[in-house]
Structure 1
Amino acid sequence: MLNIPLWKRVVIVGLVALGLLFAMPNAFYSRVEGHNDAVAAIEGGAESPELTAMEGAWPGWLPSSLVNLGLDLRGGAHLLAEVHLEDVYASRIDALWPEVRDALRDQRATVGTIRQQNSAPGELRVRISNPEGIAAAVQAVQALAQPIVSLTGVGERDLAVRSEGADVVVTLSEAEQLATDQRTMQQTLEIIRRRVDEVGTREPTIQRQGNDRVLIQVPGIGSAEELKALIGTTAQLTFHPVVSQTRDGSQDPGGRNVIYPDLEDPELFYILERTPVVTGEELTDAQPSFDQNGLPAVNFRFNVSGARKFGDYTAENIGSPFAIVLDGEVISAPVIRDHIPGGSGIISGNFTVEESTQLAVLLRAGALPAELTFLEERTIGPELGQDSIDAGKIACIVAFAGVLVFMALSYGWFGILANIALILNVGMIFGLLSMIGATLTLPGIAGIVLTIGMAVDANVLIFERIREELKSAKGPARAIELGYERAQSAIVDANITTFLTAVILFVMGSGPVRGFAVTLGLGILTSVFTAIFVTRLMVVIWMERRRPKTIEV
């Protein structure tokens, strides 16, 4: 057992060296972070002497992965937002009107004339002139229902159709509402993540909480207001036919229309058809640019279906105005001068360069499917983060020093070897965290402190077992061999249960709990490795060099 093969020694030393190599950049955090930022900027096309100097501050052949600092260590913004899921129901039902109208027109001989009525949000109400044909009308609309594509809605249809007198009432079925909620939340999380990633922030935390809430934590960003400006706009771009203009914002637009204010003239209102010709969901690209007058603007381009609808509408409505609406405000209402077949255009308005750039980012990332209401917002300053780092350092140093002194006093030279392995263990933990790009939080530091205390447990088991074997009048080599051999099963069993606990915390938990689970789980792996392999290798090398006749543990 004490005769460790050369290949195994090389593997052990190589793994330790690799872990320390990946941990090394964290000792030069600011320099490596500046190097990484400069490399990203240069790859994006930026050039300047400052960027070149920052890039050269760290050798490119060395690892440059860092342990990301979480919100509680780096400072940043924290938001808790509520998603208005009811808005999605209303949009779905509003967009259904053309299909319902066409389906009932095919039954005109039975149902008579049809007219859309004012109704509650999320409900489409259509009145027919011939009440005797209500059953046929309901059946015609029910034929529009589609099977629900979700595990919870197998066998269900997406529309619920009923009759109330001479009215046909259409709503989303309960199963479709559940499926819509799930899709909406997933889409919201993805769009927020894409918008945050556009500005290059590090390791944001974007998670669903409950049925209709989203937790957003972005380290390193200036304030909660800055984060809200980035993600708080739905950026819902739509193109509507213009019915008329008015100065009376309280005017009833009619059952099939909406009234929106003008972006530049708040006293001017446009009455538009409720159903848009094209929506921002059919955008494929948006880039900041300048219009023919040299003012900031945004170029956009539709996908194939959006380009076709946009082209058909402009061809059929030359000379008519149409409105470009962004989040309930009319940006522009130009008159169609010619057919626009290419599916591209330009949005011009009273923009600054920053506003046009941000609008392009929002449109490119996609429209949020529903409005967000921010229930909680906090800006965590870097001073608080530095306090947390300092407190974590003190806790680690105190725990580390206590363990080192205890092991040295209790086990002498063997305790010193265990202390060396403990130092290597902490270095390997940071190396693994850097390799996987993990985020270190204050609970994560607690996990490291706990690992420091737990790391010596395996060595204590081994050394106590060696003591027992020495009492049986066995030689030093045989006692060490049996000590490692007989303590190994107890070490593995004890650490497997703790590792499984860390896995459960990671899978079931969120935020700080997962940060604690990551450092605890990685710490268990490295502590078992250093106890079973690294300390054994150091003891074997010492025995081969000194060949003692007796040993004291």
Structure 2
Amino acid sequence: MRTTTSKPKYTWQILVIVITVFILGLNAIPTLYGNNNALLVSVIKPSQTQANTQQIAGAQQLPSPIQLPSVQRLRKVMQQADIQVKQIITNNTDSKIVIEGDDEALLRAQQQLKNTLSDAYQVRLGSQSAAPSWLQELGMAPIKLGLDLSGGVLFVLEVDTNKADQERLGNVKDQILQLIHDQGLRGVSVKIAASNNTSEGNGAMTLQFSPQQATQVKSLINELRQELPDINYTKTSERNASLVFTEQSINTFHQEIMAQALTTLRGRIAELGITEAVTQRQGKNRIRIELPGVKDPEQAKRIIGATASLDFYELASSDTMGAKNFSDEDGRHLTVAPKPIFSGSNIENANAGRDELGMALVNLALDGLGGKRMSEFSKANIGKPMVTVFSEYYKNTNNELVKSSKVISVATIQSQLGNRFSITNLSSPQAAADLALLLRAGSLDAPISIVQQRTIQASLGQENVGNGMMALSIGLSITLLFMALWYRKLGLIANASLVLNLVCLLGLMALLPNVVLTLPGIAGLVLTVGMAVDTNVLIFERIKEERLRGRSNFMAIETGYKEAFATILDANITTMITALILLSIGYGPVKGFAMTLSLGILTSMFTGVFVAHVLTYLVKPQIRIKQQEQI
């Protein structure tokens, strides 16, 4: 008598399914709870390296950092505004007050805190997951919602590349004037051509000189072209010549300006604490910014729309070649050297704070190049002043962008400085905080202006979410009913894999850091339902065909999954290619749809083929068919 032992099958597949569904399922749970409104209270404080920071103009070291308000005090303030507090979460850097109520209650609570607490504290708007604390401790959070679902602000910014061209030519003109001064050429003048044509005028300068100076001027230009190889020199007459940047150089410069603007704006948004923002180029010289969940658009507008730069100059005499003139807040006129010692691009970190007299200041930390320049300059100029100039663009009454520069500090260097020092005598703590934020995020080489601003209320987002979820529920219910009635046990297996597909998709979207659910993304969820069912339909119909050919129940199932896999893979790959193209070149709603579709393809392949195959093996459904009559 011979006995046979059946070996366990699909053991490792079952283990993979259990682990994957468990992890993604846990990540999907917080989405069911949503978010609560919250306020973040933090101290406006200087850099943590304050003790090592050198200061100028007699500024003193700061006192001990101000402590965060106690939990009891925060609760009392909220009670005064008739705000119900759910919980208060504190750590070393800030306190988060989670409240009950809508956005109106949130804004009222923020105003109450600002009125009660001193200006040493910063109160920001935020949110907090409503999921159980044990899920939050595991680092799990709800899916991040896009602008059309959570409400927020949409900005469209325009980068003025013509102004950037003028700034660039102004710097080249200063270089040429310095070379003329160094070589002792008298009577040579440089003018920037007045034209609005980007490809011609904005890249051109004219030189005027005597015929006897032509050779010396040509030598000067050769020296200049060692630093600027993309500039062309053309002699137009005996007394005139033109300097023109090549068209390729202008286009490359504009591309660099746009890339720098995108990088800087993303840094500013990150400083605002907005992690779900969408920042991308739109057209030739515009940038689209979506800020989901932003409830204070004026703060975002003030920071994002600012075109600020900071430069540090040596004080110079009025007869210095190429010297620049500025005015301070008291109306005094100051003359500085044509080139700054270093600029805002050399600033690595900036933090607002106060001196021991309570005056606002900003502590700066420079990069290696800036620190070296500051060290060399301060060593050679002890006892001499250094001028800090703040520049920004604004629109005048004619709606034209005008550059405004002002002196915010004239400091006497008392000792050799390193890469850390402070700017003192600022007008207010808010001005110090805004300046520090702008300097941390970087300055813009080209001015930007807000050409479109639109605020989307959260109520509209809630309506969109409700309508989208209703569409998903109706589609899912009809699909589940059809599959159960048409395929019986196989249909139940398909329904189980379909539900797991949605769970895995929601968990994956919550787990990945840069995935945002938008209204078109909900359409992608509905489409994913159809795609997942389509996978099962192809497999089940193939199983029926194998049964008609006389195969056993087990062999028909195995062959059906095996033979249908190639067709399913081809169909999903072609769809994935389209989704990836949309993801790479699309923006806004198109990108949200493409993201959900791409992740939905991955999860539907996992559940529709892998999970359904294992479930079919475990359930072992009997596939009954009507035999065709033999002729």
TM-score tier after normalising by the smaller chain length: 0.7 to 0.9
CA distance in 1 between counterparts of 2:466 and 2:181 reads: 73
Q: Is the 8 A contact 1:160 1:173 kept in 2?
A: yes
For residue 310 of structure 1, report the CA deviation from its aligned partner: 5.0
Instruction: Specify the alignment match of 2:249 in structure 1.
Output: 176
CA distance in 1 between counterparts of 2:281 and 2:259 reads: 8
For residue 46 of structure 1, report the CA deviation from its aligned partner: 3.0
Alignment counterpart, residue 265 of structure 2, candidates 176, 192, 206: 192
Q: Residues 289 and 17 of structure 1: is their aligned pair in 2 closer, same or farther, counting only changes over 3 Å?
A: closer
SS at match of 2:308: coil
For residue 360 of structure 1, report the CA deviation from its aligned partner: 0.4
Instruction: Specify the alignment match of 1:153 in structure 2.
Output: none
For residue 104 of structure 1, report the CA deviation from its aligned partner: 3.4
**Residues 467-515 of structure 1 deviation map (CA, whole Å, 9 limit, x = unaligned):** 3333445443233333323323322222222222212222232232222
For residue 450 of structure 1, report the CA deviation from its aligned partner: 0.6
Q: Is the 8 A contact 1:32 1:58 kept in 2?
A: no
**Superposed counterparts of 1:260-339, under 5 Å:** 262=328, 264=329, 275-291=339-355, 293-307=357-371, 309-310=373-374, 315=380, 322=387, 324-327=389-392, 328-332=404-408, 334=410, 336=412, 338=414
**Superposed counterparts of 1:486-501, under 5 Å:** 486-501=563-578
CA distance in 2 between counterparts of 1:25 and 1:197 reads: 24
For residue 215 of structure 1, report the CA deviation from its aligned partner: 1.0
Instruction: Specify the alignment match of 2:597 in structure 1.
Output: 520
Alignment counterpart, residue 141 of structure 1, candidates 217, 221, 228: 221
**Superposed counterparts of 1:376-525, under 5 Å:** 376-437=452-513, 438-525=515-602
**Is 1:361 aligned to 2:437, yes or no?**
yes
Q: Residues 23 and 182 of structure 1: is their aligned pair in 2 closer, same or farther, counting only changes over 3 Å?
A: same
**Residues 96-147 of structure 1 deviation map (CA, whole Å, 9 limit, x = unaligned):** 3454244335654xx544455576476555544x332224303421332248
For residue 63 of structure 1, report the CA deviation from its aligned partner: 4.8
SS at match of 1:13: helix
**Residues 296-349 of structure 1 deviation map (CA, whole Å, 9 limit, x = unaligned):** 122334445445555666655956684533322324353647565446543344
**Is 1:158 aligned to 2:234, yes or no?**
no
Q: Is the 8 A contact 2:30 2:135 kept in 1?
A: no
Q: Residues 413 and 352 of structure 1: is their aligned pair in 2 closer, same or farther, counting only changes over 3 Å?
A: same
Q: Residues 135 and 395 of structure 1: is their aligned pair in 2 closer, same or farther, counting only changes over 3 Å?
A: farther
Instruction: Specify the alignment match of 1:23 in structure 2.
Output: 28
Q: Is the 8 A contact 2:161 2:254 kept in 1?
A: yes
Alignment counterpart, residue 45 of structure 1, candidates 93, 102, 105: 93
**Comparing 471-480 and 314-323, the one that deviates more:** 314-323
TM-score between both structures, scaled by the size of structure 1: 0.83
Q: Residues 415 and 5 of structure 1: is their aligned pair in 2 closer, same or farther, counting only changes over 3 Å?
A: closer
For residue 72 of structure 1, report the CA deviation from its aligned partner: 1.0
**Comparing 449-458 and 302-311, the one that deviates more:** 302-311
TM-score between both structures, scaled by the size of structure 2: 0.73
SS at match of 1:144: helix
CA distance in 1 between counterparts of 2:39 and 2:487 reads: 44
**Is 1:81 aligned to 2:161, yes or no?**
no
Alignment counterpart, residue 8 of structure 1, candidates 13, 36, 61: 13
Q: Residues 321 and 68 of structure 1: is their aligned pair in 2 closer, same or farther, counting only changes over 3 Å?
A: closer
Q: Is the 8 A contact 2:164 2:447 kept in 1?
A: no
For residue 530 of structure 1, report the CA deviation from its aligned partner: 1.7
SS at match of 2:361: strand
For residue 422 of structure 1, report the CA deviation from its aligned partner: 0.6
**Residues 370-415 of structure 1 deviation map (CA, whole Å, 9 limit, x = unaligned):** 1101111111111111111111101100110110111112112221
CA distance in 2 between counterparts of 1:258 and 1:140 reads: 23
Instruction: Specify the alignment match of 1:211 in structure 2.
Output: 284
State the AA in 2 paired with 1:280: G
Aligned length: 529
Long gaps (5+) in structure 1: 149-156, 246-252
State the AA in 1 paired with 2:553: P
**Is 1:71 aligned to 2:147, yes or no?**
yes
CA distance in 2 between counterparts of 1:442 and 1:291 reads: 49
Q: Residues 230 and 325 of structure 1: is their aligned pair in 2 closer, same or farther, counting only changes over 3 Å?
A: closer
The structure with the largest helix share of the pair is 1
CA distance in 2 between counterparts of 1:216 and 1:521 reads: 23
State the AA in 2 paired with 1:396: L
SS at match of 1:200: coil
Q: Residues 526 and 300 of structure 1: is their aligned pair in 2 closer, same or farther, counting only changes over 3 Å?
A: closer
Q: Residues 343 and 146 of structure 1: is their aligned pair in 2 closer, same or farther, counting only changes over 3 Å?
A: same
Q: Residues 167 and 254 of structure 1: is their aligned pair in 2 closer, same or farther, counting only changes over 3 Å?
A: farther
Q: Residues 113 and 455 of structure 1: is their aligned pair in 2 closer, same or farther, counting only changes over 3 Å?
A: same
CA distance in 2 between counterparts of 1:144 and 1:481 reads: 76
Q: Residues 529 and 310 of structure 1: is their aligned pair in 2 closer, same or farther, counting only changes over 3 Å?
A: closer
**Comparing 173-182 and 303-312, the one that deviates more:** 303-312
